[in-house]
Amino acid sequence: MSEMKRLFGLILASLVSLSVWADALWIDVRTPQEYAQGHVEGALLVPYQEIGQRIGSIAPDRDAEIHLYCRSGRRAGIALETLRAMGYTRVVNEGGLDDVVKQYGLPVVRE
Protein backbone atom coordinates (compact mmCIF):
# COMPACT_ATOMS: atom_id res chain seq x y z
CA MET A 1 0.00 0.00 0.00
CA SER A 2 2.84 2.42 0.75
CA GLU A 3 4.19 1.96 -2.78
CA MET A 4 0.78 2.91 -4.17
CA LYS A 5 0.71 6.03 -1.98
CA ARG A 6 4.19 6.97 -3.16
CA LEU A 7 3.21 6.55 -6.81
CA PHE A 8 0.04 8.56 -6.26
CA GLY A 9 2.13 11.30 -4.66
CA LEU A 10 4.49 11.37 -7.64
CA ILE A 11 1.62 11.50 -10.11
CA LEU A 12 -0.09 14.27 -8.17
CA ALA A 13 3.14 16.28 -7.96
CA SER A 14 3.61 15.89 -11.73
CA LEU A 15 0.08 17.10 -12.42
CA VAL A 16 0.55 20.12 -10.15
CA SER A 17 3.83 20.95 -11.90
CA LEU A 18 2.22 20.66 -15.31
CA SER A 19 -0.68 22.87 -14.23
CA VAL A 20 1.63 25.56 -12.85
CA TRP A 21 3.76 25.42 -15.98
CA ALA A 22 0.97 25.40 -18.57
CA ASP A 23 -1.13 28.26 -17.26
CA ALA A 24 1.59 30.75 -16.38
CA LEU A 25 4.26 32.95 -17.85
CA TRP A 26 7.75 32.08 -16.60
CA ILE A 27 10.37 34.83 -16.72
CA ASP A 28 14.08 34.41 -16.04
CA VAL A 29 15.35 37.78 -14.79
CA ARG A 30 19.06 36.88 -14.87
CA THR A 31 21.68 37.99 -17.39
CA PRO A 32 21.82 36.59 -20.94
CA GLN A 33 25.00 34.71 -19.98
CA GLU A 34 23.30 33.03 -17.00
CA TYR A 35 20.25 32.23 -19.12
CA ALA A 36 22.44 30.52 -21.75
CA GLN A 37 24.05 28.34 -19.06
CA GLY A 38 20.64 26.91 -18.16
CA HIS A 39 17.03 28.03 -17.86
CA VAL A 40 13.56 26.59 -17.46
CA GLU A 41 12.35 25.33 -20.82
CA GLY A 42 10.01 27.92 -22.31
CA ALA A 43 10.97 30.69 -19.88
CA LEU A 44 11.48 34.13 -21.35
CA LEU A 45 14.66 36.07 -20.68
CA VAL A 46 13.91 39.54 -19.34
CA PRO A 47 16.74 40.89 -17.16
CA TYR A 48 15.32 42.43 -14.00
CA GLN A 49 16.52 45.93 -14.95
CA GLU A 50 14.41 45.75 -18.15
CA ILE A 51 11.20 44.24 -16.74
CA GLY A 52 9.39 47.58 -16.39
CA GLN A 53 10.03 48.58 -19.99
CA ARG A 54 9.31 45.19 -21.57
CA ILE A 55 6.47 43.62 -19.60
CA GLY A 56 3.70 45.51 -21.43
CA SER A 57 4.50 43.78 -24.71
CA ILE A 58 4.99 40.39 -23.03
CA ALA A 59 2.00 40.40 -20.68
CA PRO A 60 -0.45 43.23 -21.35
CA ASP A 61 -3.00 41.58 -19.02
CA ARG A 62 -2.14 42.77 -15.50
CA ASP A 63 -3.98 39.74 -14.09
CA ALA A 64 -1.72 37.28 -15.93
CA GLU A 65 -0.01 34.70 -13.75
CA ILE A 66 3.72 35.45 -13.81
CA HIS A 67 6.46 33.39 -12.17
CA LEU A 68 9.87 35.02 -11.79
CA TYR A 69 13.18 33.41 -10.95
CA CYS A 70 16.88 34.24 -10.95
CA ARG A 71 19.84 32.63 -9.15
CA SER A 72 18.90 33.25 -5.53
CA GLY A 73 15.58 35.12 -5.59
CA ARG A 74 16.98 38.61 -4.96
CA ARG A 75 16.66 39.91 -8.53
CA ALA A 76 13.30 38.16 -8.91
CA GLY A 77 12.19 40.05 -5.79
CA ILE A 78 13.20 43.37 -7.31
CA ALA A 79 11.35 42.49 -10.53
CA LEU A 80 8.30 41.43 -8.51
CA GLU A 81 8.17 44.81 -6.73
CA THR A 82 8.46 46.59 -10.09
CA LEU A 83 5.56 44.59 -11.54
CA ARG A 84 3.37 45.07 -8.47
CA ALA A 85 4.00 48.83 -8.61
CA MET A 86 2.80 48.69 -12.22
CA GLY A 87 -0.44 46.98 -11.18
CA TYR A 88 0.36 43.31 -11.88
CA THR A 89 -1.52 41.26 -9.32
CA ARG A 90 -0.51 37.62 -9.82
CA VAL A 91 3.27 37.69 -9.63
CA VAL A 92 5.31 35.09 -7.75
CA ASN A 93 8.99 35.16 -6.81
CA GLU A 94 10.00 31.51 -7.22
CA GLY A 95 13.53 32.10 -5.92
CA GLY A 96 16.44 30.60 -7.79
CA LEU A 97 16.56 28.25 -10.75
CA ASP A 98 17.51 25.36 -8.47
CA ASP A 99 14.45 26.08 -6.31
CA VAL A 100 12.16 25.98 -9.36
CA VAL A 101 13.61 22.69 -10.59
CA LYS A 102 13.39 21.14 -7.14
CA GLN A 103 9.84 22.31 -6.43
CA TYR A 104 8.21 21.81 -9.82
CA GLY A 105 10.52 19.41 -11.64
CA LEU A 106 10.51 21.61 -14.73
CA PRO A 107 13.03 20.81 -17.47
CA VAL A 108 16.18 22.92 -17.81
CA VAL A 109 17.72 23.64 -21.21
CA ARG A 110 21.15 25.01 -22.11
CA GLU A 111 22.07 27.02 -25.17
Q: What are the residue numbers of the active site?
A: 70
CA-CA distance, 90 to 106, in Å (whole number)? 20
CA-CA distance, 44 to 32, in Å (whole number)? 11
52, 78 Cβ separation under 8 angstroms: no
CA-CA distance, 87 to 40, in Å (whole number)? 26
Other C-beta atoms lying within 10 Å of the C-beta of residue 32: 11
